[in-house]
């Protein structure tokens, strides 16, 4: 606690300084061109030693706008401490020239340490929010602010790790020998159908472990520009896998639970991959019974999960399943490079989940949160009354005098 307070006091002016800068969004094409043609470690170092503190400072300023009762939760304080420590360590390179004989090597090692330190940010923050809700209950206004904050906080984290991974993979020794043609974490020729199958196989293995059964996969591709040709994209396979694994996991669970006693067996989960002029789309369709329209939006709330709530015992690892983070974070991965994730459901039948990605890497720019007055106002403005009618449980009795029009 004392160390955290000391770090906070000394770093606060720097946090305020760096938060005045907006993050610099990069496109997949820019990541690719830099890594492929003129990957210069000094250039990357000079860019990251400022850009990483800027991205950290923007989100650290925003954290402080959350309710004090949430900030006081042990898990949230732990996350703040990790961010503060990483920010202070990065400041050590603020004025360190790349010509310093050990600067590049030390910086590389620091980035790996920071990445490892932040590995458990998502489940730890999720646990902090649950701790808060168990103690203080549900407040619609606070819940809306938490939803807004976590979308931005986790997007910032995705971007932070993207920058670190590109640098460490390009200039470190942790290059994956299984993917020698990858440029950092980007595959210039990502076979989308193969990633679909990998995500399905992983989800199938978990489904079979839990339910002793899993639906089969039917996959088809439609290449608008070149029919019959396998669809490839310039993308980050790990991001795509994360999204598809979550969708397959949800589809399989719904399908098995609805049809486990059916004599006809389990209906297959279908995947369709299409490539047009602007969009690369992946649709995952199931016959798992669907979700009522009223509940669709809830599936993207961080505190909503149809799985059992996980244990909060500190001695146990914190699993992501059960925290309600799977779908909302998958949507953030899709939106990170200007795509999206949409759910279309027919209650009683099943659900179609569609991942939209940009077809062109030059249009796939990072979508980054910026701490500014607009963000500040979001936390400070009270929720206004709804300007549409709300249905009541019972119809009004218009025969009563209170409701009669005055003549």
Do 288 and 351 touch, CB atoms closer than 8 A? Answer: yes
Q: Which residues contact 236 (CB under 8 A, 6 or more apart)?
A: 28, 162, 185, 186, 187, 337
DSSP of 171-185, one letter per residue?
A: HSS---TT-TT-BTT
| H-assigned helices in 287-383 | 293-296, 326-336, 373-380
User: Strand 269-275 to strand 350-358: parallel, antiparallel, or no bridges (unpaired)?
Assistant: unpaired
Q: Which residues contact 96 (CB under 8 A, 6 or more apart)?
A: 49, 103
**Tokens read off for 402:** 């209170």
Closest C-alpha among 103, 52, 62, 121 to residue 380:
62
Q: For residue 2, which phi and psi values (nearest 5 degrees)?
A: -65, -40
**Residue in this structure with the two tokens 């399905």, named with its chain if needed:** 200
The upper half-sphere exposure of residue 264, i.e. CA atoms within 13 Å in the direction of its Cβ, equals 6
Task: Report the SS3 class of residue 21.
Answer: coil
Distance from C-alpha of 355 to C-alpha of 282, rounded to nearest angstrom: 5
- Positive or negative CA dihedral for 322, 289, 257, 193? negative
Distance from C-alpha of 133 to C-alpha of 148, rounded to nearest angstrom: 16
Distance from C-alpha of 235 to C-alpha of 186, rounded to nearest angstrom: 5
Do 275 and 224 touch, CB atoms closer than 8 A? Answer: yes
Indicate which residues carry an active-site annotation: 242, 246, 249-250
Do 65 and 159 touch, CB atoms closer than 8 A? Answer: no
Task: Report the SS3 class of residue 402.
Answer: helix
Closest C-alpha among 90, 239, 243 to residue 166:
239
Distance from C-alpha of 243 to C-alpha of 247, rounded to nearest angstrom: 6
């Amino acid at each position: 606690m004392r160390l955290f307070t000391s770090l906070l006091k000394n770093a606060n002016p720097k946090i305020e300084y760096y938060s005045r800068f907006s993050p610099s969004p990069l496109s997949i094409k820019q990541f690719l061109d830099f890594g492929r043609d003129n990957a210069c470690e000094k250039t990357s170092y000079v860019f990251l030693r400022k850009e990483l503190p800027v991205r950290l400072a923007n989100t650290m300023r925003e954290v402080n706008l959350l309710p004090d009762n949430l900030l006081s939760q042990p898990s949230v304080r732990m996350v703040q401490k990790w961010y503060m420590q990483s920010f202070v360590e990065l400041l050590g390179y603020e004025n360190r020239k790349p010509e310093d004989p050990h600067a590049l090597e030390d910086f590389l090692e620091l980035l790996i340490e920071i990445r490892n330190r932040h590995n458990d940010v998502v489940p730890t923050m999720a646990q902090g929010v649950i701790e808060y809700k168990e103690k203080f209950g549900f407040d619609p206004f606070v819940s809306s602010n938490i939803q807004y904050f976590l979308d931005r906080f986790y997007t910032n984290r995705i971007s932070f790790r993207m920058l670190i991974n590109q640098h460490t993979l390009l200039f470190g020794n942790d290059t994956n020998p299984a993917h020698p043609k990858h440029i950092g974490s980007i595959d210039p020729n990502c076979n989308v159908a193969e990633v679909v199958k990998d995500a399905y196989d992983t989800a199938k293995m978990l489904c079979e472990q839990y339910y002793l059964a899993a639906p089969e996969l039917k996959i088809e591709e439609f290449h608008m520009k070149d029919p019959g040709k396998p669809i490839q994209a310039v993308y980050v396979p790990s991001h795509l896998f994360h999204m598809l694994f979550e969708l397959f996991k949800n589809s399989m669970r719904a399908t098995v639970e609805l049809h486990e006693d059916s004599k006809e067996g389990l209906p297959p989960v279908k995947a369709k991959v299409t490539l047009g002029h602007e969009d690369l789309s992946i649709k995952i369709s199931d016959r798992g019974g669907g979700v009522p329209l009223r509940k669709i939006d809830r599936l993207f709330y961080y505190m909503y999960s149809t799985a059992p709530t996980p244990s909060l015992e500190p001695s146990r690892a914190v699993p992501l399943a059960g925290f309600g983070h799977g779908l909302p974070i998958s949507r953030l991965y899709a939106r990170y490079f200007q795509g999206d994730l949409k759910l279309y459901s027919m209650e009683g039948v099943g659900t179609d989940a569609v991942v939209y990605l940009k077809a062109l890497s030059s249009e796939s720019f990072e979508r980054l949160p910026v701490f500014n007055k607009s963000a500040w106002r979001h936390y400070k403005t009270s929720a206004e009354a709804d300007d549409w009618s709300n249905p009541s449980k019972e119809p009004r009795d218009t025969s009563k005098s209170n409701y009669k029009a005055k003549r």
